[in-house]
A = this chain, B = another copy of it.
Amino acid sequence: MAVRKYMPGVEVRLWARRKSPLTFAREHKLADTCSQNLFETVGGAELVVLCTPTSTFLDLAKEFEQGLGERAIVTDVGSTKKDVHTGVGSFLEESGHVFVGSHPMAGSEKQGIEHAQANLFENAVVALTNESRADDNTLSRIAHFWRTLGASVFTTNAVAHDSLVAAISHVPHIFAALAARTAASDKRSNVDALSTLASTGFRDTTRVCSGSPELWTDILTQNAEAICPYLEQSVADQQRVLQLLREGRREELLQWLKEAKQARESIC
C-alpha cells in the first residue's frame, strides 16, 4: 500500500502462504499480482521484501533464490538482525546475491492485512544493517526505497541493532506483559473491578502486549542473547525498588523515580 501510494507505476507483486490475505489484497487492489507461487512472484523483481516471521526467511530464500535477477536486492522487515544475517543473509551472499537487513521501527499491536496502512512508514525510522557486504550503490538504492515511503534511515550493525531494539522494544514488551499479567493474576481483585478502574495509563503501559504472541515468541527467542542481560539487570532494579518501598525509604524512592523520568525524557 505504501509503494502504491508513493511509487505509482511500480509493479507490486504479493506472495502469501495462505489464500485469505491474497483474496483481501485482490479485492482491495493492493498489488498487481497476488499469488501463492513464490518462485513466479520473485522472478525478475528488482526488490524482494521478506515480511514473514524471520524463522521462515531461509527456507523461503532457498525456494526463490534461483529466480532472482542480477540486480535484485533482497531485504526484510524483521525485528532482529543478527539471526537474519547469519541465516538468509549468508545464504544469499554465498549464492551470489545481495541482502541488506531492514527493520522499520513502525507497526501496531494489530495483526493481519486488514490492518495494513499506506502511511505506516511516514516519519518512521528504518534501521539498515549491512553484514553481507553490499556495495554503496545497493545501500543507497535500499535507503532511497525507504525514504520514498516516508521513513528516515539509520545505518548500524547487526549486534548493535539487536542490543538497541532489546533495550527500546523487546524488554519494554516484557514489562508490558508483566504489568498485564500481574494486574490480572491477583485473587483478591476481580476483573470487573479492574476493568472499571483501568484508565489510559494502564491501557498505554500494556498496549504492546496485545501484539501477536506468536510473532513475539519469535522476536524474543531470536534476540534472547541481547535481551537477557537487560532482564537480569532489571530484576535487580525491581528488587531494589521493592526494598525501598518495604522500608519506606522516601528519598531514595524519589531519586529512583526521578532517574526513570530523566531516562524516558532523554530517549523520547
The interface of chain A, by Cβ under 8 A from chain B, is 105-107, 124-125, 127, 154, 156, 160, 163-165, 167-169, 171-186, 188-189, 191, 193-199, 201-211, 213-214, 216-217, 220-221, 224, 227-228, 230-235, 237-239, 241-242, 245-246, 248, 250, 253-254, 256-268
Contacts and interface: CB of A to CB of B under 8 A. Distances in A.
Contacts of A250: 217, 221
Contacts of A267: 180, 183-184, 191, 194-195, 198, 202
Given A163-B186, A198-B268, A202-B268, 19 more contacts: A105-B198, A106-B199, A124-B199, A154-B197, A163-B188, A165-B197, A169-B201, A172-B201, A174-B241, A178-B234, A178-B260, A180-B260, A184-B266, A201-B207, A209-B260, A213-B261, A217-B254, A220-B257, A228-B246
Contact of A199 (B105, B211, B227): B105
B217 A245 contact: no
Contact of A257 (B217, B254, B257, B266): B217
8 closest Cβ pairs, A-B complex: A184-B263, A177-B260, A213-B257, A180-B264, A180-B263, A172-B179, A204-B204, A172-B205
Given A171-B183, A172-B183, A202-B168, A245 B264 contact: no
